[in-house]
Amino acid sequence: MPLLPLLLATLALLATSAHPGCRPGPDPDPAATCVDLRLRTCADAAYNRTAFPTPLEHRSWEVVESSPEYMLLGVLHFLLEGQCNPDLRLLGCSVLAPR
């Protein structure tokens, strides 16, 4: 199986996994810490807050920014030879720094 479809399937699965984060509602995660969204790559996301830990168990911005997932998101445009769809980047943001 080519790497890109496998990566996209993994990102989609992670993005749809339950993670209450700092959303208001009946089951907010009491261990979650709500913070402002600071990733430049995700500056145009439809939200501006996220929570730590993330579904990938990142516990700080330093861990997110040094993760292989974030590095891959940063080079996605070059891997796809300029054909990077903004939706792919926002999907990656929803995994690395979910609402």
pLDDT tens track for 29-59: 566 789 998 888 888 888 899 989 988 889 9
Query: What pLDDT shows up at residue 56?
Result: 87
Sorted by where each begins, the domain ranges of the chain are: 31-99
Nearest CA to 39 out of 16, 11, 67, 10 is that of 67
In this structure, the dihedral spanned by the alpha carbons of residues 95, 71, 52 and 34, taken in order and rounded to 10 degrees, is -80
Q: How many CA atoms lie within 13 A of 74 on its CB side?
A: 10
The β-bridge partners of 52 are: 33
- 99/8 Cα distance (integer angstroms): 19
Q: Is a pLDDT exceeding 80 seen at residue 19?
A: no
Query: What pLDDT shows up at residue 66?
Result: 92
The larger pLDDT score, comparing residue 61 to residue 7, is at 61
CATH H-level, domain 31-99: superfamily: Frizzled cysteine-rich domain (1.10.2000.10)
Is pTM beyond 0.85? Reply is no
Q: What angle do helix axes 3-16 and 86-96 make, rounded to 10 degrees?
A: 50
